[in-house]
Amino acid sequence: MRLLCSFLVVLTLLFPSSLAAYAEEKQSLSSSDEGLLEIRDFNQSPPFADGSTSTTFTISSSNGTIFSDVPTDHWAKSEIEFLYQRSIIQGYTVNNGLQFRPNARVTRAQAAKMLMKALGEKEQPISRARFKDIPSDHWAAGWIERAVEKGIFQGYEDGTFRPDDPLKRSQMSKVIAIAFQLPAPPSTASKVAFTDVSSNYWAYPYISKLYYHGISNGNQNKFMPESYISRDQFSAFLARAMNEDFRLPVNSSVIATGKVTAQSLNVRSAGNANASIVGKLNYGAVVNVYEINGYWAKISYGKINGYVHKSYLKLKNVNGNPLQGRIITVDAGHGGTDSGAIGNGAYEKNIVLSVAKKLQQKLEKAGAKVIMTRANDTYKTLEERVQIAKNNYAELFVSIHVNSASASANGSETYYDTSTNPNGYESYLLAKEIQQQLVKNANMLDRGVKDNNFYVIRYNTVPSVLVELGFITNKSDVQKLTSDEYQNIFAESIYNGIVQYYNK
């Protein structure tokens, strides 16, 4: 019993928590961890960290760590141990060792104490309780009083402080920005590139300060303001606010985001294939893009700046229409001496050129740069069509055709290629979105999306599809194919499919 009491006393003196709160946390820790969104503000530990983070503390444990649950490769290890060496955090004693519990949530009371200690403040003596749920003998009463006195925290209208409530990331941004008196970004500074934080969101001014001062760059271009902050996240933000050695690089204006579409993508020191490799990105990583020159995009991911081949990025404009600035090749099949399919008095080359021009207008209105493989009744070889796309650094390729078969065959189908095209899966996703729109808007029979190695989609390296609008040999289909109204619907459907692809 004496040993148990000593153990509980130690817990009380370590990272601030009442015994009741600790008991409750111990019972619910595993379940709460499962529901906690993992946000590391580096898109996880940077896969190519250069180890340049400056630290001024020493580690005496045999495995090079202070906390048994913060391994050497933990993304915030340096920041956590920086705070530990300054007695801002202490952790939990478990089985004669220290645990930090990095994924546990941070309460308002805990945040108040950590902030005050980080600022070098002392506990405020309490003679009379300010909040009805904070008695004068509460373990954090003096720290909360000091934080309220300095205008960093406030209570609620009902007279409570709610010390055990977990802190959200949005609330965290406010208290850190106020505590460290972070200046507002200049009017010329980059707009915060978080897709889930609009400029009219209540915490936007605070979040933008954290971003501009290198304290947070979110995860996958999201800040997740309504998610609860974990102990490792809060520690990282606090350490960065205290010591500029920990701060993240703040880059120039973000013009787009890019999702990696390759399984592994080299990041190079310059925009050419001969430049040294400074790291690799895995499929699905989302990077900030600052400039694009030909096929090379200048990007940042976590702590690293570099260049990647843009063919393996799904680029998306940061503000406004997602197609703004995208380079899209529209290929009207056949042309000139190649009439394509003929049926019911109609020629494929004429139908697809009309639809292609209507699509061009819609894409350009959205801000895209459209490359037409042909804009009139001329003939281009298949090789020329692919080369036109490559010469113009296209990011998407859409080839438009109509089908022919027996009179009974009808409907729309969209093709992609996985045999050679390195963006085969992205091509499939694009094909699926376009096909859904054709079926829905033009009321076409759904013949599905199909994997086929047609030349123009096989030898492109960007997401590429070949759309068969309908059958020129079918009476019902050809009425739509030759109708100006339906040609506009076909063009609108392809446009909507492209937009949907970029929005996902």
- Can you give the CATH number for the domain in which 271 is found? 2.30.30.40
* Greatest Cα pair distance in the chain: 98
Report if residue 447 sits inside a domain: yes
Picking from 294, 317, 340, the residue at the C-terminal end of a domain is 317
280: nearest Cα among 299, 258, 265, 261 = 265
Rounded Cα distance, 427 and 392, in Å = 19
Within 285-389, strands assigned E span 286-293, 296-301, 304-309, 313-317, 327-332, 342-343, 346-347, 369-372
Query: Can you give the pLDDT at residue 251?
Result: 59
Q: Is the pTM of this model over 0.85?
A: no
Bridge partners (DSSP) listed for residue 343: 346
Report if residue 119 sits inside a domain: no
| Alpha carbon of residue 367 to chain centroid | 22
Report if residue 136 sits inside a domain: no
Rounded Cα distance, 479 and 410, in Å = 12
What mean pLDDT value characterizes the chain? 86
What burial class does residue 46 get, using C-beta atoms within 10 Å of its C-beta: 0-12 exposed, 13-18 middle, 19+ buried? middle
Average pLDDT over residues 162-169: 96
Residue 24 has pLDDT above 70, yes or no: no
Could you tell me if 186 and 262 lie in one domain? no
Question: In which band, very low, low, confident or very high, does the pLDDT at 373 lie, cut at 50, 70 and 90?
Answer: very high
- Considering its fold, how many domains does the chain have in total? 3
Residue 392 has pLDDT above 80, yes or no: yes
Give me the catalytic one of 348, 426, 468, 492: 468
Could you tell me if 223 and 74 lie in one domain? yes
Could you tell me if 177 and 230 lie in one domain? yes
Q: Which DSSP symbol is given to 125?
A: P
CATH of the domain at 355: 3.40.630.40
10 Å Cβ neighbour count for 3?
6
Reduced to 3 states (helix: H, G, I; strand: E, B; else coil), residue 152 is coil
Query: Can you give the pLDDT at residue 184?
Result: 84
Could you tell me if 370 and 441 lie in one domain? yes
Query: Can you give the pLDDT at residue 47?
Result: 26
Edge-to-edge order in the sheet of strand 304-309: 277-282, 264-268, 304-309, 296-301, 286-293, 256-260, 313-317
Residue 468 is among the residues annotated as catalytic for this protein: yes
Could you tell me if 477 and 455 lie in one domain? yes
Average pLDDT over residues 342-348: 97
Average pLDDT over residues 365-372: 96
Average pLDDT over residues 254-276: 92
Could you tell me if 313 and 462 lie in one domain? no
Query: Can you give the pLDDT at residue 464?
Result: 98
Beta carbons of 74 and 306 less than 8 angstroms apart: no
Reduced to 3 states (helix: H, G, I; strand: E, B; else coil), residue 157 is coil
Query: Can you give the pLDDT at residue 187?
Result: 62
What burial class does residue 62 get, using C-beta atoms within 10 Å of its C-beta: 0-12 exposed, 13-18 middle, 19+ buried? exposed
Residue 294 has pLDDT above 80, yes or no: yes
Reduced to 3 states (helix: H, G, I; strand: E, B; else coil), residue 401 is strand
Supply 398's token pair.
């859409």
Residue 61 has pLDDT above 90, yes or no: no
Could you tell me if 345 and 424 lie in one domain? yes
DSSP string, 445-494: -EEEEEE---HHHHS-SS-EEEEEEEETTSHHHHHHHT-HHHHHHHHHHH
Could you tell me if 301 and 364 lie in one domain? no
Beta carbons of 329 and 393 less than 8 angstroms apart: no
Could you tell me if 93 and 172 lie in one domain? yes
Residue 165 has pLDDT above 80, yes or no: yes
10 Å Cβ neighbour count for 310?
24
Picking from 189, 224, 246, the residue at the C-terminal end of a domain is 246
Per mean pLDDT, which range of 187-196, 298-307, 406-415 is the poorest?
A: 187-196
Report if residue 120 sits inside a domain: no
pLDDT tens readout for residues 299-318:
988 777 899 999 999 998 87
Q: Which domain holds residue 290?
A: 256-317
Which range has highest mean pLDDT (12-16, 171-175, 218-222)? 171-175
Residue 210 sits at the vertex; the CA angle it makes with 206 and 215, to the nearest 5 degrees, is 155
Could you tell me if 267 and 335 lie in one domain? no
Query: Can you give the pLDDT at residue 458?
Result: 98
Rounded Cα distance, 200 and 340, in Å = 53
Report if residue 181 sits inside a domain: yes
Report if residue 122 sits inside a domain: no
Query: Can you give the pLDDT at residue 38?
Result: 34
Average pLDDT over residues 451-460: 98
Could you tell me if 466 and 353 lie in one domain? yes
Q: Is the CA virtual torsion 407, 409, 412, 415 positive or negative?
A: negative
Supply 478's token pair.
């050809």
Average pLDDT over residues 423-447: 98
Picking from 317, 340, 361, the residue at the C-terminal end of a domain is 317
Phi, psi of 125, rounded to the nearest 5 degrees: -60, 140
Could you tell me if 100 and 226 lie in one domain? yes
Reduced to 3 states (helix: H, G, I; strand: E, B; else coil), residue 104 is coil
Report if residue 383 sits inside a domain: yes
Question: In which band, very low, low, confident or very high, does the pLDDT at 191 lie, cut at 50, 70 and 90?
Answer: low
Query: Can you give the pLDDT at residue 141?
Result: 95
